[in-house]
Structure 1
Amino acid sequence: MVTAGLLAGPANAEPDTAAPRATDPVTEVTDRLAAQLTGRYAAEAKRFGLFPTTAEHAVNLADAPADSALGRAVRAANREVLAAKGLPADSAPLLTVRLADPSMVDALRRGVTPLVASSPSDDEATSVTAYGRDAKRVLLDAERIPHRPVYLVEVDSAAALAEGMDVIQSTLAQHGQAPQVRAAAGYWATQVTSIRLRDDAEPWHKGKAEIFAIAAGFGQDGKVKVDTVEMPYLDHDDTTYYPGQLLVHFSSYKYNLADLVLMEEDSGTNYRDLALALAQALLTIVDGGVYIPLVNAILNALPDGWWTDDPDYVDSFYTLSTATAGTLTGAANNATMTVAPYWVAPL
């Protein structure tokens, strides 16, 4: 995601030989590939057209021919990424290359030699390690968009999120915590008619947001039930979206109350670990006959490292009911959404 407050001035680009090491398995893979695309595989990458000429669309690195040296390296790297993210081995390839910002297109057309980088895993990082010709390291300011073109090797977060939601739901179902929708005479849901994020806290090298919601309530059996919902339209902060999306389905809950937590997928998210952490934390909560807010339990289930980047906490909403309507501000004062009750009629 690119935040609205980024500076457009020139970035520092000093050669460096002691750049910080990557801090998670996925970043280690993308950083390694970034160096290789300017070094040992530079000629193949150019020949196979893996560097897009605009910032509109990313190129999947799996487009490299399977029988090429680069193709074999990409397939091995994809296997590492899928394992690190807790995704099935037969999932679609996730590694892509994109031009970091539309402002870099003109320099690219003038023939300015681009750099290749991967985004650091830490949102608080002050520099981005990029690679120039022959994999020579160059440090870039993490907060200022460089004038020199920069290609980013990264995970297709939209594809990863779609796969990850399936992993979370199937894992929770194995622990008896995935909601079962009852095909009754219809049910109430909470519809979000508009939503806006104040700050997604992401610098130029992060790209668009991939937001998902975790909804939780007590099921008919007294156990906590968790559902996940993708919000693929919610790309940028300081932008109002009007999705008309159903976020909370009360068909499987014992009470007419549920809690909602908004999170963002980042490259290092391990979806199986997230699901297991949620299951372990929520198994200990017992229905005492009165609704207990579940936001804190969800947030406490996240390992400490996940508060830095993967996944990012966005905001939370306590005790949404079947009658909740109007404009709501999240507990972290970061998300504002307008909601309305929605009756889901049977077929």
Structure 2
Amino acid sequence: MHPRSIRLAALSLALAAATLIAATPAQARPAGTIPAADVTPSDTGPVYSATDRLAREVAGALADSATRGRVLAGTTAGPVDLLRARLGSRADRAAQAANEAVLAAKGLPAATGSVLQLRLASSATKAASAALPLVAAASTDDAMTSVAAYDPAGARILLDPVRVPGRAVLVVEVNVARAMEQGLAQVRQELADRGLTGARAARTTQAGYWATKVNAIRLSNDQETWIKGSAEIFNVVAGFGLDGQPTVNVVEMPYLDNDGTVYYPNQLLVHFNTYKYNLADVVMWEDDGDTNYRDLATALITALLTIVDYGTYTPLVTAIINAMPASWWTDDPDYVDSWYTLSTGSSGRLNGAAANGWMDVTPYWVQQL
């Protein structure tokens, strides 16, 4: 069974168990909560550890009615930058420390700035109940059996990961879109510095070149829990450069927010002017917040520098996947799917090798000006 399939199966079992717990007659416990003795959160990564500590501090700051009113109004309109939320001196210091810890854990420079935000967990709770809101850190564990949240009095409450709680929950999380933009720029630069992007050996003619255009794309439902935000998808597109060296491009798909939805991006995925052969491979990843971009760049460089061009095309998917640290099969980042040997003639629906998604593609002629 594929690693992602294993994780999804485990998550399904966990969700089924949690549903049974939720269906058991409760002793007047609030909807969406579970007895603390029943489950223990499994997240222990550095990003979650930092955001979980911050969640407790943010919850304490919400004991102040003025702060609470301002924060609830802000998060109802959308995510709030935690370094600009004005939560009080103690919580503000905690936010700054957590942001520094997250930047270090993700291999991002301090100049990146703020990558932490506060989000209302579900639009279903916008009309907040009379109860004080809870605050939780976004988990990066696909197989979670509970969500740890804190109330303004400091109490730790375990929530059901399946049922959206009736009480308002604010989520401390990484602004993955911002972090990924900065992180992938860093990855591209490190690859370019090692001559692994093919940019210095592009094939150009007066006429133009062929590319592969994605007309439509859909990923299967991965049953992510209510506390997780939208997915952030990126692709490692790999082939052999004109110099015979393996080369990669990193292509983002920022529109691909939800699984189970068909998107029509008309996006160019593969540019064949940088490749020696008429073939390229695509490996798709999802960043849930824990990605260390320095490690990503190192893993790609390590994999690509060991590959030799023997005069015929060799698929690069396996080498790329095998180079990734073992921890990356536990949601940081997720392997989503892969597509082997796309060519200038690839057309129609292409199912991923892991059967987790498909793309409708067509050849596209890029006309030079």
* TM > 0.5 fold call: yes
Correspondence for 1:132 among 142, 151, 159? 151
Q: Corresponding residue for 2:330?
A: 308
Deviation, structure 1 residue 134 = 1.8
Does 1:150 find its partner at 2:172?
A: no
SS in 2 for 1:50: helix
Q: What letter matches 1:303 in structure 2?
A: P
Please report how far the alpha carbon of residue 267 of structure 1 lies from its aligned counterpart in structure 2 after TM superposition.
1.2
8 Å Cα contact 1:193/1:339 also seen in 2? yes
Alignment of 1:191 onto 2:213: yes
Which whole-Å CA distance do the structure 2 matches of 1:97 and 1:49 have between them?
A: 13
Structure 1 range deviating more: 83-92 or 42-51 = 42-51
Shift of 1:165: 1.2
TM-score with structure 1 length normalisation? Answer: 0.91
CA spacing shift, 1:47–1:100, aligned 2, 3 Å: closer
Say if 1:344 and 1:92 are closer, same or farther in 2 by CA, change over 3 A.
farther
Q: Alpha carbons of 1:146 and 1:65: their partners in 2 closer, same or farther (altered >3 Å)? A: closer
Q: Note closer, same or farther for the CA distance 1:124–1:312 as it changes in structure 2 (3 Å cut).
A: same
The equivalent position to 2:179 in structure 1, one of 160, 183, 199, is: 160
| Partner Cα separation in structure 2 for residue 120 and residue 23 of structure 1 | 10
Residues paired across the two proteins, number: 342
Superposition pairs of residues 87-98 of structure 1, within 5 angstroms: 87-98=108-119
Tell me which residue corresponds to 1:221.
243
Q: Specify the alignment match of 1:23 in structure 2.
A: 44
Cα displacement (A) at 1:83? 1.2
Please give the per-residue CA displacement for 1:87-120, whole angstroms capped at 9, x wherever unaligned.
12101311001111111122x0x42321100122
Q: Does 1:178 align with 2:197?
A: yes
Contact 2:209/2:367 (<8 A) preserved: yes
Find the counterpart in structure 1 of residue 138 from structure 2: 119
Equivalent in the alignment of 2:97? 76
Q: Equivalent residues in 2 for 1:211-250 (5 A)?
A: 211-250=233-272
1:279-328 deviations in Å (ceiling 9; x for gaps): 10111110000000111111111111111111011111000001101011
Tell me, in whole angstroms, the C-alpha distance in 2 between the residues paired with 1:83 and 1:11.
Answer: 34
CA–CA distance in 2 between the matches of 1:69 and 1:54? Answer: 20
Q: 1:190 to 1:62 in 2, by over 3 A?
A: same
**Alpha-carbon distance in 1 for matches of 2:109, 2:205:** 34
Identity of aligned residues (%): 51
1:58-78 deviation line (CA, Å, top 9, x unaligned): 111111359933333222221
1:265 maps to: 287
Given that 1:66 and 1:72 are in contact with CA atoms closer than 8 Å, whether structure 2 keeps it comes out as: no
Superposition deviation, residue 45 in structure 1: 8.5
Q: Match of 2:258, as an amino acid?
A: H
TM-score (norm: length of structure 2): 0.86
